[in-house]
Amino acid sequence: MEAGPLNVVTQGSESSLNVAGRGKFFENYIRNLKTLIEQSPLYQSMNENDTDINVVIERHIKTAKIESMKMSKKIPVRSDGIIDNVPDRPAPITHMGPSGNTSVSKKEEKLRLIPVDIHQKVSSEGVEVVFGFDYKYLEANKDFGIVTLRDLKKTLWIGNRSTYSTQILLYSNGTIGLLVLMLNEKSLKFLERNWYWGWKCIPERFNFKYLDVVDDKWRTFSSFECETELYEHFLNACYSFFPKKVGYQGNTVYEESDNGVMLFSLGNDLLTGNIQTHLFQHTSISIPLESGFGYDLTQEQKEGEAPVTFLGSFSIDFHKVQHKSIDDPKFVSDQQSYFRNLISYENEVNCSSQKEQNTTEELITNYVSLDFDLLLPRYIEAKNKNFRSYKCPPDELFHRIVEGNKNIWKVKKNGLLAKQVHYYIDDDKWVIVVLENNTFKFLYRASDSDVWVDKSSEMFNTKDLKVIKRNRQELSPMDLKFNFFGPLCIIPLGDPVRVSYKNFSHNFEHCGKHISVWLVYDVTTNKAKLETKVFNLRSETRITNPR
């Protein structure tokens, strides 16, 4: 791409997420991105030389865009030559690659050409009608193409079998009237309304053939390799990558810099012909979780003279009785306090996901002894030279952990089994046990000792973690998922409005709705932080069509 003098001028910018004309691309991309970075196991993206969660998110940011575009291309191609799975209501186009149009003759044979009136208010067999505030879409349904456009009895435009419209935008705001036809050959037809002479064709205000897009490998991409949508009075174009450079008619519209701002999509203002750059930026915020960890124990509990009942959790038999009432005659009075605790735990479970709720006795068919000296690929979720993470299948649980003939942990009487185990080896050794109710056991062995010490009462625990979601519901401990890497336990918290731990609390409402938060806990330092990614989109208008 040969860019001429930089004669494009920034006309204005806005730092709001509600960027004018950005359409639905950004919303759908953020949805895919957050799903990817919050649900994909982070260990799959990490390596021993790269344990920074921010670097991992950088990879996901690029991958999410690729995956979003792939999803749209897996949907069967419509007979009018457009992609079906375009987010919400983008303008459909014929997908074309370097080799040209991928349409086939069978598709053309099925095509039914129909006339459409701009005053049509109700969707029909051939056309779907979508209304906005001051605009209306007329979109051809599958196997249909718009070949004639009318204004009551007056014909405004006529096409043919090789040139027809797939979508029409009617924009009307006071004295301004604009018709834009998206044609199957990836071109636009403009009509403007004047109160004196009605509708008339006007010169095109934007042409894809003048648009040059370059990726980070300096490859130039055809305009047919993007997704487009008509939104309000904007035509937006989005590629499956973050462009390095974009030019239009010899002018440089965008060029990548080192400030972390990337070009998400392009928008053409169909009223003025000027191009908008929709700039995507992600900001990292690291918030230390300033709170003392550990449980508040009495002096007797600290000295071992009194039991710490909440560390032992509930009985292994809770699966058998969790749906029974404490008023059942067969339950004797001295058991009632136990079952009150049990019902409290059940209520906590009932707020969690259905997957966790269904962990009943019928599902658990095998109790496993985990030996660190044995190769157990069935249970290994991730491994490196200094750690191994184990996770049970849905129908199994660990009841004991050993290393050769050395017993490290086993379930106590009236205790819970383990569903996930992380073994970290540095100079010292750590074993993190995730119990059935998503609480932790932290076991530690110093390098100069053969004795394993239970450090749970001094460490992080999920019972003191409170997460308020955007819908104002509290996240249940059973909803938490744990990713382990090296000495780190990484817990995705989604997009909360508030996170608290004991006397610590942080409000995220001021960050907007496009955020992702992780709690990152380092077992070796007994410290935690909230890693936050804030995703922003701003728009800058470039004067590429002076009038």
Q: Where are the beta strands (DSSP E) in 134-250?
A: 135-140, 144-151, 154-158, 165-173, 176-183, 188-194, 198-201, 211-214, 220-221, 227-231, 234-238, 245-248
CA 407 to chain centre: 42
pLDDT-above-70 percentage for the chain:
70
Give the mean pLDDT of 503-508: 91
Instruction: With a cut of 70, say whether residue 201 has pLDDT above it.
Output: yes
pLDDT band at 14 (very low <50, low <70, confident <90, very high): very low
- Nearest-angstrom CA–CA distance, 308 and 354: 30
Identify which has the larger pLDDT, 419 or 261: 419
The neighbour count for residue 157, using CB atoms within 10 Å, is 19
Q: Taking 80 as the threshold, does the pLDDT of residue 11 lie above it?
A: no
Q: What angle do CA 327, 332, 338 make, to 5 degrees?
A: 80
Q: Report d(CA 162, CA 153) in Å as an integer.
A: 25
> 410: which strand partners?
400
Could you tell me how far CA 457 lies from the centroid of its own chain? 35
CA angle, residues 412, 482, 469, in degrees to nearest 5? 115
529 close to 287: Cβ distance less than 8 angstroms = yes
Q: Backbone phi, then psi, for 464, in 5-degree steps?
A: -90, -5
CB-based contacts of 54, cutoff 8 Å, min separation 6: 284, 531, 533
Distance, CA of 381 to chain centre = 22
R_g of the chain, CA atoms, integer Å: 30
C-alpha–C-alpha distance, residues 454 and 476, integer Å = 25
Q: What is the pLDDT of residue 311?
A: 47
Q: What is d(CA 265, CA 498) in angstroms, rounded to the nearest whole number?
A: 32
pLDDT-derived band at 507, boundaries 50, 70, 90: very high
**What is the pLDDT of the chain when averaged over all its residues?**
75
Whole-angstrom Cα distance, residue 345 to residue 340?
A: 9
What single letter denotes the amino acid at residue 227? E
Q: What is the pLDDT of residue 509?
A: 85
Q: Tokens 């660190």 correspond to what residue?
A: 372
Which range among 181-190, 247-256, 330-339 shows the weakest confidence by mean pLDDT?
330-339
Counting other chains too, the contacts that 295-299 makes at CB distance below 8 Å and 24 or more residues apart are: 295/457, 295/461, 297/457
pLDDT at 459 over 90: yes
Residue whose tokens read 């076991």: 443
Task: Report how far residue 65's alpha carbon sits from residue 242's, in angstroms, rounded to the nearest whole number.
Answer: 8
How many residues make up the chain in this entry? 547
So what's the pLDDT on residue 165?
93
Residue 108 confidence (pLDDT)? 60
The CA-atom distances, in angstroms, between 356 and each of 324, 363, 405, 468, 490 are 19, 11, 33, 19, 19
Structure confidence by residue, pLDDT tens digits, 389-440: 999 988 899 999 999 888 999 998 878 899 999 999 988 999 999 999 999 9
**CB neighbourhood size of 489 (10 A):** 22
The arithmetic mean of pLDDT across residues 349-356, rounded, is 39
Contact 469, 496 (CB under 8 A): yes
Residue with tokens 């990490």: 46
Residue pLDDT, tens place only, 515-539: 889 899 999 999 999 988 888 878 8
Joined together, the tokens standing for residue 38 give: 């919050």
pLDDT of 430: 96
Asked if 289 and 519 count as a contact pair (C-beta separation under 8 A), the reply is yes
Helices (H), 259-322: 299-302, 309-312, 318-321
Residues 267/235, Cβ–Cβ less than 8 Å: yes
348 pLDDT higher than 90: no
Question: Rounded CA gap, 366 and 386, in Å?
Answer: 29
- pLDDT at residue 326 greater than cutoff 50: no
From first CA to last CA, the distance across the chain in angstroms is: 25
pLDDT for the residue 372: 92
334 or 419: which leads in pLDDT: 419
Residues whose CB is less than 8 angstroms from the CB of residue 302 and which lie 6 or more positions away in sequence, other chains included: none
Q: Which two tokens stand for residue 385?
A: 């030279």
Instruction: Tell me which H or E stretch contains 425.
Output: strand 418-425
| Mean predicted confidence (pLDDT) in 336-357 | 37
CA 203, 206, 209, 210 torsion: positive or negative? Answer: positive
Lowest-pLDDT choice from 51-65, 262-276, 453-467? 51-65
Domain residue spans in the chain? 10-76+222-286+537-542, 96-201, 294-459
The predicted pLDDT at position 452 comes to 92
Q: Which helix (H) or strand (E) holds 58?
A: helix 53-74
pLDDT at 169 (0 to 100) = 92
| Contact (CB, 8 A) for 398 and 299 | no
Confidence of residue 6 (pLDDT cuts 50, 70, 90): very low
Q: What are the tokens at 151?
A: 């204004």
Structure tokens at 509: 């409402």
Smallest Cα–Cα separation from 183: which of 230, 246, 231? 230
Compute CA 357 distance to the chain's CA centroid, rounded to the nearest angstrom: 24
pLDDT of 53: 65
Burial class (CB in 10 A: 0-12, 13-18, 19+), 229: buried
Residue 362 has pLDDT above 60, yes or no: no
pLDDT, mean of residues 201-215: 88
Q: With H, G, I as helix, E, B as strand and everything else as coil, classify residue 386.
A: coil
Residue-level pLDDT at 297:
62
Q: What is the mean pLDDT of residues 20-43?
A: 65
What number of other Cβ atoms are within 10 A of residue 467's Cβ?
A: 22
Q: pLDDT tens digit string along 108-166?
A: 668 899 999 999 999 999 999 988 888 898 889 888 999 999 998 899 999 999 999 98
